[in-house]
Amino acid sequence: MPESNGSKSKSDWLEKTYAKSVAKAPERDYPFDTSDGALVEPLYAPEDMDGWDYLSQLSFPGEFPYTRGVQPTMYRGRLWTMRQYAGFGDAEESNARYRYLLQQGQTGLSVAFDLPTQIGYDSDHPMATGEVGKVGVAISSLADMELLMKEIPLEKATTSMTINATGSILLAFYVAVAKKQGADLSKIGGTTQNDILKEYIARGTYIFPPEGSMRLITDVFGWCKDNLPAWNTISISGYHMREAGCTAIQEVAFTFANAIAYVEAALKAGLEFDEFAPRLSFFYASFTNLVEEVAKFRAARRMWARLAEERFGAKDPRSMMLRFHTQTGGSTLTAQQPENNIVRTAIQALAAVLGGTQSLHTNSMDEALALPTEKAVQIALRTQQIIAYESGVADVTDPFGGAYYVEKLTDRIEEEATRYLDRIEDIGGALRAIEMGYQQREIQEASYRYQMSVDNGHRTVVGVNEFRSDDEEHREILRVRHEVVRRQIDRLNRVRAERDNAKVDSLLKLLEDAARSETNLMPVFIECVENYVTIGEICRVLRGVFGEQREFHVF
């Protein structure tokens, strides 16, 4: 009879059975490591748990510290919200795409805005030339938002808006449309990304210096608390930092460092933690190392629960629950053999579901080439639906819970991310660390290490540095037509001609006075946009009051 597993220790197994196997067939030349370069052992067993009786101490789903999920039933009670990030050209074209996706079974909208909208320029501004409608939909006035949401009942659909520097203004547009629809604002659900600190770190679509930017964010917190209670006031985003090259551990740590800064700003503005914390949401990437991503999400939930309770004195359990949206890894998509991206996205989406996400966007196979075609978007959405309805992984809460490797990696990510948080705290907090270039340098170094491992062949990217093909076929890609840009600018000119411009002038003066005071700016924004003041006009006033941020000098 062969020996049973119970009669051997892990070290015995490594020394005898595993060593003999390696001697006969050496391990493949491939990096057995996590995204931060930590070596992965060939086996995980009870002794790896460092004496922790983890099986008896694992919390149940829906119970503090929520390692295993924020709801007891998780997907047995309700599936995650299936969102497809979409927006291109003008509002008319994007509205058609949204209605198509809803017809295909999408359960929530996710709006991509073009660069001029993101940095506060109208579509006819010289700075907007060549960028109108290219990476998202162009929104200059309420007329655009009305068209964007045409035939979409905002009381029933939840909308996520990926917008930051101008997030409060786009929320005002959305509220104005909801009011025109006669919607009950207490039932309007969705999310404004509204996260400026990660723009300073990794993405770059900022307008104002930190003080003015943080003012706009906390004004949204305060106004929504009383007027838009079902709205997620911020989506604190690790996604863009991960896309810029940081590791899974850095993604968790830098996201929470930013979250701490937002919470402290809100407390300083006079808000109580439990008043706004239940509406905080988070946004993470999901990359292709499935087990690492699952562990990352579990560690992040546990860390936030402890931060909320121990640091900020949370009493409301909802304040301690990390609710997050996930997007599959855009930077992992390859222009070479783009069909391979379907497989990458499926693995990444599966990791997000196994990790307990509340909302998910799956990237399309052609996004390394251009904006996604309708067919590619349908495949991406079907990927989520197959996972939800055919795979069985949504039937059980935290199906990986208790697995030795998953629990060990969850502990390690929490431990290392906490070390990063401590370093940032020693520097003086997230904003001070950003000013010193700490996060930027860490991300740059991690990105460089990864790219070097690909370039030298140590890490395989299928279709790029291994398993290449020379018969790449011509592919149809989506292009924004010039006549769409012309239509957008014509609509903007009509708005300016038909509105009450004397009223606009008085409102812009009111906005300037409010920005120079401590008045919450959201009611002023809403009144402005309801009178068809444009985003460029509002931001011109705010630039005059707050100033413009220049790039932080990393030294």
- The 10s digit of each residue's pLDDT in 86-98 is 899 999 999 999 9
Q: Per-residue pLDDT tens for 502-520?
A: 999 999 999 999 999 999 9
Which tokens go with 466? 């291994």
More confident position, 28 or 222: 222
Q: In percent, how much of the chain has pLDDT > 90?
A: 83
Say which DSSP state 73 is in: S
Which tokens go with 451? 């790219």
Average pLDDT of the segment spanning 323-339 = 96
**pLDDT range class, residue 2, cuts 50, 70, 90:** very low
554 has a pLDDT exceeding 80: no
Contacting residues for 322 by C-beta, under 8 A, at least 6 apart = 66, 70, 282, 300, 301, 303, 304, 305
CA separation for the pair 496, 499 (Å, rounded): 6
Domains of the chain: 57-70+156-369+384-455 (3.20.20.240)
113 has a pLDDT exceeding 60: yes
Average pLDDT of the segment spanning 282-299 = 98
Question: How confident is the model at residue 55, as a pLDDT?
Answer: 63
Question: How confident is the model at residue 1, as a pLDDT?
Answer: 40
Angle at 526 (CA atoms; ends 141, 168), nearest 5 degrees: 80
Biggest alpha carbon–alpha carbon distance for the chain: 94
Say which DSSP state 223 is in: H
Look at residues 357, 373, 354, 353 and name the one whose alpha carbon lies nearest to residue 365. 373
CA separation for the pair 235, 10 (Å, rounded): 43
Question: How confident is the model at residue 480, as a pLDDT?
Answer: 78
Q: Per-residue pLDDT tens for 257-272?
A: 999 999 999 999 999 9
Whether 273 contacts 284, CB under 8 Å: no
Place of tokens 């600190």: 197
Q: Mutual orientation of helices 535-546 and 501-516 as an angle, nearest 10°?
A: 30
Average pLDDT of the segment spanning 21-26 = 87
CA separation for the pair 437, 431 (Å, rounded): 10
**pLDDT range class, residue 28, cuts 50, 70, 90:** confident
Whether 261 contacts 421, CB under 8 Å: no
Look at residues 213, 411, 224 and name the one whose alpha carbon lies nearest to residue 300. 411
User: CB pairs under 8 A, 24+ apart, for 64-67?
Assistant: 64/305, 64/309, 64/317, 64/320, 65/301, 65/302, 65/305, 65/306, 65/320, 66/301, 66/302, 66/305, 66/320, 66/321, 66/322, 67/298, 67/299, 67/301, 67/302, 67/398, 67/401, 67/410
Average pLDDT of the segment spanning 100-129 = 95
CA separation for the pair 410, 294 (Å, rounded): 8
Question: How confident is the model at residue 108, as a pLDDT?
Answer: 87
Look at residues 213, 170, 222 and name the one whose alpha carbon lies nearest to residue 191. 170
Which tokens go with 176? 């104005």
Whether 544 contacts 512, CB under 8 Å: yes
Q: Per-residue pLDDT tens for 141-151?
A: 999 999 999 99
Contacting residues for 66 by C-beta, under 8 A, at least 6 apart = 59, 301, 302, 305, 320, 321, 322
Question: How confident is the model at residue 7, as a pLDDT?
Answer: 58
**Three-state SS letters, 482-493:** HHHHHHHHHHHH
What are the DSSP E strand ranges found in 159-201?
159-162, 190-192
Question: What integer best gives the mean pLDDT of the chain?
Answer: 93
26 has a pLDDT exceeding 90: no
Helix (H), strand (E) counts: the chain: 23, 9
pTM: 0.92
Question: How confident is the model at residue 523, as a pLDDT?
Answer: 98
CA separation for the pair 138, 273 (Å, rounded): 35
220 has a pLDDT exceeding 80: yes
Q: In percent, how much of the chain has pLDDT > 70?
A: 96
52 has a pLDDT exceeding 50: yes
192 has a pLDDT exceeding 70: yes
CA separation for the pair 65, 298 (Å, rounded): 10
Average pLDDT of the segment spanning 346-370 = 96
CA separation for the pair 376, 341 (Å, rounded): 11
Look at residues 207, 211, 202 and name the one whose alpha carbon lies nearest to residue 251. 202
83 has a pLDDT exceeding 60: yes
**pLDDT range class, residue 472, cuts 50, 70, 90:** low
Q: Per-residue pLDDT tens for 403-447?
A: 999 999 999 999 999 999 999 999 999 999 999 999 999 999 999
